[in-house]
Amino acid sequence: MTASVPAYTVPSPEAVDALLSEVRFNSDGLITAIAQQHDSGEILMLAWMNADALRETLLTGRVCYWSRSRKGLWRKGETSGQMQKLVDLRVDCDGDAVLALVHQDGVACHTGRRNCFFRAIRDGAVVNVAEPLISEEELYGR
Amino acid sequence: MTASVPAYTVPSPEAVDALLSEVRFNSDGLITAIAQQHDSGEILMLAWMNADALRETLLTGRVCYWSRSRKGLWRKGETSGQMQKLVDLRVDCDGDAVLALVHQDGVACHTGRRNCFFRAIRDGAVVNVAEPLISEEELYGR
């Protein structure tokens, strides 16, 4: 079950600075970040990064977000073990969003689902279109 | 070159209300919206919706955003012709982002590229990893 993850080449600090200079952080110092499984194309989650999180992500190859609720760096997988290994990172045309192509270990969503986008309308009602692969207790109870 | 687009079933107004009640708009009344090509998985763009835009998207099957710069509804393709036909729409676990699975007519990016996420680090520099398929003049000059 070991998936093959393309090697990530850590860029130079100068290249990281150049990329950060093209990013337009909002008035809270944040940008939106989409995480997509690099091979299947599955959209895993949407979260936020500040400059420190983006820099750390690029320089370590492990995705780090900014937690707006905890007001701190959020190294994805630090508590749950469900890490995101970076494969590539793209900045959009107007510089206010990034796309992280990743390999997701396990599940991305805190509900234990593979991805966070699991609610949709079916037959006139809002339902869950995906089920958890692991319980929240298993994810966070260790 | 006519792609087969899965039929979109317009939900009842009650189902749309139920979905909107699960969405947590931010202090500006907005949520982030990701557009993904339904079959290839390509992430096309990230933009914003308010309640009216989300409702219109669901009830018409044509993706409508909120333009933060123009402060108005932004019916994708109205100016450029590059419409997004809705296939499905998902709300994420904490209700502050939606994923629109769409069929993109032509290109999504105002630069004429297929998608907006085209800047990345290569060999120590930030470069464009995709080229325009159509000029901005052709997109907007009609």
Look up the ipTM and state it.
0.94
CB-nearest to B111 from A34, A93, A110 is: A93
Joined tokens for residue A43: 């959209």
User: Do β-strands A72-75 and B97-104 pair in parallel, antiparallel, or remain unpaired?
Assistant: unpaired
Q: Which CATH superfamily is domain A13-108 in?
A: Phosphoribosyl-AMP cyclohydrolase (3.10.20.810)
Determine which of B21, B55, B93, B139 to mutate to test the interface with A (most A C-beta atoms within 10 Å). B93
Distance of CA B117 to the CA centre of its chain: 13
Please tell me which of the candidates B41, B117, B126 has its beta carbon nearest to residue A99: B117
Q: State the CATH class of domain B13-106.
A: alpha beta
Q: Quick one: pLDDT at residue B141?
A: 81
Alpha helices, H only, A6-134:
13-21, 51-60
Tell me the residues of chain A between 102 and 131 that have a Cβ less than 8 Å away from chain B. Answer: 109-111, 113, 116-121, 124-126, 129
pLDDT, tens only, B60-84: 999 999 999 999 999 999 988 899 9
**Residue B86 Cα to chain centre, angstroms:** 9
**pLDDT tens digits, one per residue of A58-104:** 999 999 999 999 999 999 999 889 999 999 999 999 999 999 999 99
**Cα A129–B114–A53 angle (5° rounding)?**
65
Please give the pLDDT value at position B2. 55
**Per-residue pLDDT at B3:** 58
- Delimit the domains of chain A by residue range: 13-108
Checking if the pLDDT of B142 tops 60, the result is: no
